[in-house]
A = this chain, B = another copy of it.
Amino acid sequence: MVIKTKADYVKSLREQKHVVYYKGKRVEDVTTHPGFIPHINAAAKTYELALQPEHEDLMTAVSHLTGERINRFTHIHQNREDLIKKVQMMRLISHETGSCFQRCVGFDALNALYSTTAEIDEKYGTNYHQRLIEYVKYVQKSNIMVVGGMTDTKGDRSKSPSKQSDPDQFLHVVERRKDGIVVTGAKVHQTGAINSHEIVVMPTVALGEEDRDYAVAFASPLNAPGVVLIFGRQTNEERKFEKGIDIGNLEFGLVGGEALIIFDKVFVPWDRVFMCGEYDFAQMFVERFAALHRQNYGGCKGGLSDILVGACGVVSEYQGTGKASHIKDKLAEMMHLAETIYCCSVACSAMGHKMKAGNYEPDTLLANATKS
């Protein structure tokens, strides 16, 4: 199925029948569950805006793999302009949703894997990069939503994955088969997981030789056998069931809707495996992913700040305090903060560099300035 419209997106979610729990109960249809609707609405904006001609330049790109026009969330950045447009696209969508639209993590995961797989192949003679290219083509064509699965439950942070008393604190390979691998573990705080189609799993920390089984990256449909999604409780989430204004943003809610995703002996075929045992690339991968991810904040959070500044401005006018100098000072300070973080995102993009694989990544140091 190729997803174009919001309707396509909702339909695809309804049909995929992934295993989702909300407050201890199995949810049959996520698309009609009040706890999920705002998140779906927000993510749907990434599809809807891409159909509007005036946003084509920011919301879409031309695939370097197929030459076809694709949703920018499935694109591999080809130059610095692409990096800057990513940031601008996010600020644009934030202006529409005033909430998290959840599609950045998978986007970043694919881009970080694009450069890393090429370099793993170069060192080890593997063929991860070609597999990834095929997967990217599939994502670009189908326009599916991909959750980026980085964060493990971690347990005792002073110990590496293989030293944990519970071996499943970090997701790992439990079996290597001819046709693929079997993995067990869990990824937490997975933004947009409930309303995504697939997950790209990646390592979350630097690894040593003894952590070889934890050096694993792959893609999997969320309805694969053994995958269970448990929705994480969100602040004030009961209000979504009332449909009143106490939810805040009536249509899009407030947050991205994080979930815990359990992998209970999940099978992944080899053509969806992008790292398996190359522990010495884990740290490099995490750094690249982090740079790509931190780059986003000036876009999406900058956009959220704009909404907040506007809201505060309106409130102060309603209250008759709009002209008070201390109010104006505070609004100016909020704007200054928003533009500063936006500057960091733009700058790490403008100073981005070409990778061996030919794609572009933002400047790591400046991307870190964005986040912290």
Contact = CB atoms under 8 A, between A and B. Distances in A.
**Secondary structure dominating the interface of A:** helix
Interface of A: 84, 154-159, 233, 235-236, 238, 246, 319-321, 323, 325-326, 329, 336, 339-340, 342-351, 365-366, 368-370, 372
Contact of A350 (B319, B329, B346, B370): B346
B156 A319 contact: yes
A237 to B, nearest CB: 8
A116 to B, nearest CB: 24
A108 to B, nearest CB: 19
Contacts of A321: 157-158
Contacts of A349: 350
Contact of A326 (B155, B233, B329): B329
A211 to B, nearest CB: 16
- Chain A to chain B: the 9 pairs with minimum beta-carbon distance, closest first: A325-B325, A158-B320, A350-B350, A343-B347, A346-B347, A156-B320, A238-B238, A343-B344, A339-B369
Contacts of A319: 154, 156-157
A79 to B, nearest CB: 13
Given A236-B236, A320-B158, A372 B336 contact: yes
B339 A340 contact: no
A157 B315 CA distance: 11
28 contacts: A154-B319, A156-B319, A156-B320, A157-B319, A157-B320, A157-B321, A158-B323, A159-B320, A238-B238, A325-B325, A325-B329, A326-B329, A329-B329, A336-B369, A336-B372, A339-B366, A340-B340, A340-B343, A343-B343, A343-B346, A343-B348, A343-B366, A344-B344, A345-B347, A346-B347, A346-B366, A347-B350, A349-B350
Contacts of A345: 347
Contacts of A157: 319-321
Nearest to A246: B233
